[in-house]
Amino acid sequence: MSREYRKDPEAISRLSKEQYQVTQEAGTEPAFNNVYWDNEEPGIYVDIVSGEPLFASVNKYDSGTGWPTFTRPIEPENVVEVRDSSLGTIRTEVRSARGDSHLGHVFDDGPVDAGGLRYCMNSAALRFIRRDDLEREGYGEYRKMFEPPGGGGQR
């Protein structure tokens, strides 16, 4: 299934105040007080504005920061990294490529055995799609990420 991902004005109009502040104004939600920081269900995370596939639960880990954190994106071309000096220090902002949503920041202090990066994202910028809903939601190609090695489709 081919999808067109874009900054969707209709999706923007449905955002909560916090979602708008995070995605459109580069805000940050509170640590430990957001919907996905401790989510352990299998599935993928997509941009709440464009629907672009961004991260997967198989690459999520507890960084102790209170935000959903990943070792890498599932589709590197769907994320853009931008130099950010807004707080008087140099950081790397992460934005969705087509939706242009502010997602969070990436740091170089992640697990070394997984590449060393820590993608620290805002739940308010993400929509979680459970493994069992991937086909219905149009993301069926990501189902294979959750199958055991060798296939078979067993859970």
What is the predicted pLDDT for the residue at 1? 44
Angle at 138 between CA 71 and CA 135, to 5 degrees: 90
What is the predicted pLDDT for the residue at 90? 84
Which ranges of the chain have pLDDT less than 50?
Answer: 1, 154-155
pTM: 0.91
**In the chain, what's the furthest Cα-to-Cα distance?**
51
What is the predicted pLDDT for the residue at 2? 53
Terminal CA-CA length for the chain? 24
What is the predicted pLDDT for the residue at 97? 96
What is the predicted pLDDT for the residue at 151? 57
Residues 6+ apart with CB under 8 A from 82: 92, 93, 94, 95
What is the predicted pLDDT for the residue at 56? 98
**Residues 9-141, CATH architecture:** Beta Complex (2.170)
What is the predicted pLDDT for the residue at 148? 82
What is the predicted pLDDT for the residue at 4? 83
Give me the count of residues in the chain: 155
User: Which positions are catalytic?
Assistant: 120
